[in-house]
Amino acid sequence: MGVVSISPASIERIGGFLGQRFLNNKEKRLKDWTLAEEFISMYERKSHQDWFWIGEQAGKWLDAAAYAAVISRDEALRERVLQAVDRLAASQERDGYLGITAPWHRTPVRGMQLYEWYYLIHGLLVCHELLGSERALETAQRLGKFIMRTWGVGEGRFPLMGRFPGNGHDGGEGTLILEPMVLLGMRTGDDSVIRWCVETLQMWDEWAEKYPESRHTGSYSMMKAVAQGEAELYDVRDNVHAHTLHMTLLGLAALHEATGETEYRQVVLGCVDRIRETMVFITGGMSSGERYVPYPYYNPRNDIEVCPMHTWILLCAQALAWTGEARYAEEIERTLLNNFLAAQRADGSNWHYMMPMNRPAQPVGTPNCCNSSGPRIAGRMPTFLYGRSGQGLAVNLYCDSEVFFGTGPAPGAGGLGESANAVSVRVRQETSYPSDGRVELTLEPERPCRFPLYLRIPSWAKGTEVLLNGERAAVSSGAAGEGFGGDRNPATGDAAPGTYAMIEREWRPGDRVEIVLPMPIRLHRGARELAVLRGPLVYAYFQSQQDDPQRFYWNHGLYPDDVELVIDGDEPHELFEEEAAPEGWLGPALRVRAVQKPRAPMFAHEAANQRLPGRKEFSARLLPFANHGAQGGPHAVFLAYTSGKENG
């Protein structure tokens, strides 16, 4: 029994840092009607002749806006989404084609075509599921039939990998269409769609060998080898595209749900574990540029794309739904609270395409894949906070919020239980996490009822205390779910890091659970450079936030490369001092001794070089990396450090 993300309709309130970023995303990006109008009208005009993948935008907007409308009870946004569905349906051609491409420009097919339809079908299915739009489902069904007639196995159909031109995606990446097609078949009960999915999967190996130019995806055999530890992720295909690989794995996960074939689940979980163990950065990002590459080609200055982060979060949510293992929820937290939200402009208006750890982010710009992937996850972000597990509730991420659920067996999408004897329970969470480690939950069942409550204890939170109505609670630790067997420790007072602590009892109105998470400062140290972490947050040095940023108009005199932290002790808590973050920023800030390195002798004459700043000590201010979108200027997660002896 795993942990299934809670229904968006179950969320009553979300506050704190995540809540503000969710709200900003909705108000400044999803409700940018000029953008939304352009996305939909492209389907009505059908005049696009470029290879660029702009057709994905409408589907991602539908998906994100539908989630955000339901979570925030925004009727104006909900109505806009339903109007967009009607317009898309009206623009669908008689044969089921629904796209932006001019009729005379559809052969040869664009390499990005199935990528666009991946998101369009997803968006339509979300509108059916969350908004009850039957027209969205009918439109998706007609498009699915069109895809099955024109793509797949058999004479006259396009293979999912082939010699297709594309905007950097030559050769196509059609394995990714598996997920939305499986979901469509499951939603409609159409077995012919599932059969088409199985038939095309059986051709992946042959197509991969026949069309080596299809570099973005790879063979099923190689994915299986990665899952079994017999190959590396970058062996799936030379320069394999991380985001496409993630989407393909999500398709295998869906196919397991549709067919019950255990091998698909094994491949997905095996690959997820390999990504987690070998490819995820401390900030929760992954890939170099857009690719999984061999280790010599990784550097903190390299670009980190937003798109694979968004599908990584979805993969971890799927693994959590299957297993109930806390480590997958921790990966969601790591990515959300660090690299992912660092890429969002703080006001929610846009997203960076690339968000490196030690180099300025790629400037925000016109619509692209990443500034639509970011809003897609941000729009459903509150659903990751809680999950249903058996008859209980799991708290996956700590955030000021309020939800309700029903006891009894959980329905597939979370929310109220379906049992006639279900008891409605409201849960209020009050906390300043991740700035502070104290969390208070107040439970308000409509009448006394028994169910398990699962509290995720982060792997770094050794010594966590759990109190029930002011007294130390007896908890058991393990994966979330029923039928614990030997995997869950007996009830004690200890909450083991990296697990879910469970309290099962008869809950009464007003019961309070307090979690006190230690927030240790930790050093992720190499031979010459280190990164600083506090609780779940990775910190960064922002030049713009120093006491003396040494900036004159657009001229930067001081860069992160010019700074060394002074680490002259073994206890991080003795080296750093907490202080308030700037207004509107996630905190706290951390103060630490540092030295400014002497400048390189860049002038031709020594007299001029003598006027450059020399080595001097100063107090550096570090702030959570997730604040990146609130500022401009150079930053660095990894900083050089010194013992300080040479400065004494």
Q: What pLDDT does residue 584 have? A: 93
Contacts of 215 by beta carbon, 8 Å cutoff, 6+ apart:
170, 171, 237, 238, 239, 240, 241
Q: What is the pLDDT of residue 453?
A: 97
| Distance separating alpha carbons of residues 406 and 408, to the nearest angstrom | 6
Q: What is the mean pLDDT of residues 83-107?
A: 93
Q: Which pLDDT score, from 0 to 100, does residue 491 have?
A: 56
| Strand, helix or coil for residue 255 | helix
The two three-digit tokens of residue 470, written as one number: 């002011």
What's the pLDDT at 413?
41
Which pLDDT value is given to residue 241?
94
Least confident of 6-10, 56-60, 482-486: 482-486
**Whole-angstrom Cα distance, residue 316 to residue 272?**
7
Over residues 521-528, the mean pLDDT reads 96
Cis before residue 572, ω within 30 degrees of 0?
A: no
For the residues 388-392, what does the mean pLDDT come to?
A: 93
Quick one: pLDDT at residue 173?
A: 85
Q: Which two tokens stand for residue 165?
A: 């031109």
Q: Which amino acid, one-letter code, is at 540? A: A
Segment 584-639, tens digit of pLDDT: 999 999 999 999 999 999 999 999 999 999 999 999 999 999 999 999 889 999 99
Predicted local confidence at residue 414, as pLDDT: 42
CB atoms near residue 558 (< 10 Å): 19
pLDDT at 128: 98
pLDDT digits (tens, 9 = 90+) for 157-174: 999 998 876 656 667 789
The predicted model gives 54-62 an average pLDDT of 96
- Residues 180-214: tens digit of each pLDDT: 999 999 999 999 999 999 999 999 999 999 998 88
pLDDT at residue 105, as a whole number: 80
What mean pLDDT do residues 480-509 have? 75
Q: What is the DSSP string of 408-422?
A: SSPPTT-SS--STT-
pLDDT at 415: 43
What's the mean per-residue pLDDT of the chain?
A: 93
Whole-angstrom distance, CA of residue 551 vs CA of residue 549: 6
Asked, as a colleague might, if the bond just before 520 is cis with ω within 30 of 0, I would say: no
| Residues forming beta bridges with residue 288, ordered by sequence position | 291
d(CA 74, CA 632): 32
- Beta partners for residue 540, in sequence order: 623
pLDDT band at 111 (very low <50, low <70, confident <90, very high): low
Instruction: Tell whether the model's pLDDT for residue 410 goes beyond 70.
Output: no
Task: Quote the DSSP letter at residue 615.
Answer: -
Is pLDDT larger for residue 422 or for residue 91? 91
pLDDT at 394 over 80: yes
The tally of CA atoms less than 13 A away on the side-chain side of residue 134 is 0
Domains assigned to the chain? 387-516 (2.60.40), 521-647 (no CATH)
Tell me which residue of 517, 516, 514 sits closest to 468, measured CA to CA.
Answer: 514
